[in-house]
Amino acid sequence: MCYYKIKGPVAHLVERYVRNVEARGSSPLRSTLSYLPIYTYDHPVLRKETSPIKEDTSELQKLIRDMQKTMHHAEGIGLAANQVGKSLMITVIDISATKGNEHVLPLVLINPVITDTHGESVFEEGCLSLPEIREDVVRPESIGIKFLSEEFKEIEMESAGLLARVMQHEVDHLHGKYFIDYLSPLKLSFLKGKLNKLRKGEVETEYPLAPPSGMKKKKR
């Protein structure tokens, strides 16, 4: 379970929820969206600090829709722009498919900043950029966060539970950080084999992946 409290007008959030449902359902909009290949460990774009977004554009709105479709196709609950090769400070989140969180609206976070943290909790995390790897991670239980919505409206929120964890996970991505960076050296040593396979592109997923860094596409 999680809770979230939004400071400021919320009507646009309901409108956005409707658009997200349309993007996932049988809508004419769906045909204009694309699945984006997801970049995996240890591609340089995932370690770079992303750039703040300064203005709303049609290209940005298309990226948001494509990221949402890609996240849902991969059965993820969060996706940062650098995970699809775009070094921009934006992430999409949707935990409504998880038990007890059906009421939580999908979110788009542009230029997010975590302003406050409280408590501590341990929870198993995974990542679309680290397929087949799941580990317990210690994070704050609740957070305060501010960001711009996809309509470029300023939002301040307080959240806890799964939503707060996913927000922290995705904000980390935007600053070039993986969840495995929180693990001890001993735990990381146990993952060395899996990480090496990911680095070489030796992994299969149900969603499209970008070629590993340095690997060229084969010519036909």
Length of the chain: 220
N- to C-terminal Cα separation, the chain:
49
Angle at 14 between CA 10 and CA 16, to 5 degrees: 110
Q: How far apart are CA 96 and CA 194, in angstroms?
A: 30
**Strand, helix or coil for residue 38:** strand
Q: How far apart are CA 16 and CA 198, in angstroms?
A: 35
Q: Determine which one of 102, 120, 124, 170 is catalytic.
A: 170
Q: How many helices (H) and strands (E) does the chain have?
A: 5, 8
Told to judge if 170 belongs to the known catalytic residues of this protein, a careful annotator would answer yes
Name the residue with tokens 């970008």: 210
How distant, in Å, are the alpha carbons of 15, 125, 143, 180 from that of 3?
A: 20, 19, 11, 26
Query: Could you say which DSSP state residue 167 is in?
Result: H
Query: Does residue 42 have a cis bond before it (omega within 30 degrees)?
Result: yes
- E-strand ranges in the chain read 4-7, 78-80, 90-93, 107-118, 121-125, 135-139, 142-148, 154-160
Residues with a known catalytic role: 170
